[in-house]
Amino acid sequence: MSHLPLLRMSVSRRCAAPAQPAPPKPACGARQHLFAVRDTRLPLFRPAHRLLVSLLAATLLAGCGDTRPVRQPEGTVAFRSGSGPETASQSFVVPGLAFQRSGMLVPAHQQAWQSAWAEEDQEHSLLKGATGGLTTGIGFLMITPMATAFWPAAVGIVVASTAMGMLGVTQTDPADVRMSAPDRAVIVEATKTLQPDRLFREAMEQALRRRTGEPLQVVTWHMAGSGDTAGTDPLIEARAQGLDGVLDFAIDALGLAAGEERDTFGVFVQVRVRALDARDGQLRYERVLSYGPGIAVPGLPRSDFHTVEFLAADQGRVYRQVASDAIRRLARVLAADTQLPLAR
């Protein structure tokens, strides 16, 4: 019983302790500021920002899905053989009497054909894809000022476009694989085996024989090989045979050019025909005619297109056949030219 007063006193003291003061209520302006700070912590929940990110993501997925290199235009040269200048089709004619007796110039020694493939892009595919994706992302930001005001979306666009560019080059179609070195070597060797100049002269001689009714006389001449080896004058030989005109048939260029579909190629040929007056050496006629992918010749069908693997099959047999057909077609067109000064 003696401890009861003390217990009551301690309890009363606890109950009498002052309560903690309640935090002051913020003013109206402070309350609006607090809500504004809380709202900027989660900007993605804003409807406008969500709509912006959704639109930008959809645009990237729709526009950056295919990052493969753009197909080369039809007619772009991939392989070229020959030493003549590459020019467009053209004609040069000097009026005069037609040749009554004509000959055909044939060099004593055939020149070696110089063949070369177009240089390929040596840039790594992943680096090229990343560069293309990064350029696409930056370009999209430049035309969309609204995206730059929200920096997380801007960073996401650049990162996503770069990743899409790298992903695109890793998912390239098998048809986009570069042509192999063995196929290249087969095409080069097949061009040498074809002997295009000899084939063109034979095709022109056969076509002109049907036009004039008699074969062309052969005028053999030697070209100057070096400083100590002089060439011969073919006009002297032509006059010795009683000819009043000589014809020169040559192929300036032969090779492969890009077709109308991805990774297809067609044979292109550029030929040249000249007619010289054997008496004074005057050039009476010259015509350059080109035929191949993207080059239309009246009276001839469009050039055929094939893959390099198909053209190089069977040691280039298909390539030689397609090139031979193109050369013979051009010979028939040139032999039928009425401006060629040959008497019937």
Read off the pLDDT of residues 17-44 as tens digits, 9 standing for 90 and up. 445 555 555 554 444 444 444 444 444 4
Q: What is the mean pLDDT of the chain?
A: 75
- Domain with residue 251: its CATH number is 3.40.50
Mark which of 177, 207, 242 sits at the end of a domain: 177
Residues 158, 279, single domain; the answer is: no
Secondary structure (3-state) at 38: helix
CA distances from 263 to 33, 68, 73, 289, 304 (A): 63, 13, 11, 26, 13
Q: Are residues 184 and 327 in the same domain?
A: yes
Tell me if 87 is assigned to some domain. yes
Domain boundary among 143, 177, 211: 177
pLDDT at 224: 67
In a domain, 343, yes or no: no
Q: Write down the pLDDT at residue 6.
A: 41
Q: Is the pLDDT of residue 227 over 80?
A: no
CA 102 to each of CA 99, 238, 275: distance values in angstroms, whole numbers, following the listed order: 6, 9, 9
> pLDDT by residue (tens digit) across 311-339?
999 999 999 999 999 999 999 999 999 99
Are 109 and 170 in a shared domain?
A: no
On whether the CB atoms of residues 310 and 252 are closer than 8 A, the answer is no
Q: Is residue 21 part of a domain?
A: no
Angle between helix 181-194 and helix 196-212 axes, rounded to 10 deg: 40
- Asked if the model's pLDDT at residue 228 lies above 90, the reply is no
Q: Do 203 and 288 have their domain in common?
A: yes
Burial class of residue 275 in the structure, from the number of CB atoms within 10 Å of its CB (0-12 exposed, 13-18 middle, 19+ buried) = buried
Nearest Cα residue to 251 out of 119, 118, 117, 110: 110
**Residue 175, helix vs strand vs coil:** helix
Q: Are residues 193 and 263 in the same domain?
A: yes
Higher pLDDT, 232 or 170: 232
pTM over 0.75: no
Rounded Cα gap, residues 249 and 260, in angstroms: 30
Same domain, 292 and 160: no
Q: Is residue 20 part of a domain?
A: no
Residue 93 has pLDDT above 50, yes or no: yes
Do 182 and 267 have their domain in common? yes
Lowest mean pLDDT among 13-17, 72-76, 239-243, 258-262: 13-17
Is residue 19 a part of any domain in this protein? no
Query: Are 169 and 307 within one domain?
Result: no
Give CA–CA dist 275/93, Å, rounded: 9
* Domain membership flag for residue 159: yes
Domain around 289? 77-120+178-335
* 44, part of any domain: yes
pLDDT tens string 10-21: 434 444 444 555
Which of 62, 325, 22, 284 shows the shortest CA–CA distance to 200? 325
Residues 58 and 169 in one domain: yes
Would residue 167 count as lying in a domain? yes
Q: Say whether both 107 and 244 belong to one domain.
A: yes
The residues that bridge with 291 in the sheet, in sequence order, are 269
Please count the structural domains in the chain: 2
The distance of Cα 260 from the centroid of its chain, to the nearest Å, equals: 11
pLDDT tens for each residue of 150-202? 445 555 555 555 555 555 544 444 444 467 899 999 999 999 999 999 999 99
- Residue 44 carries which DSSP code? G
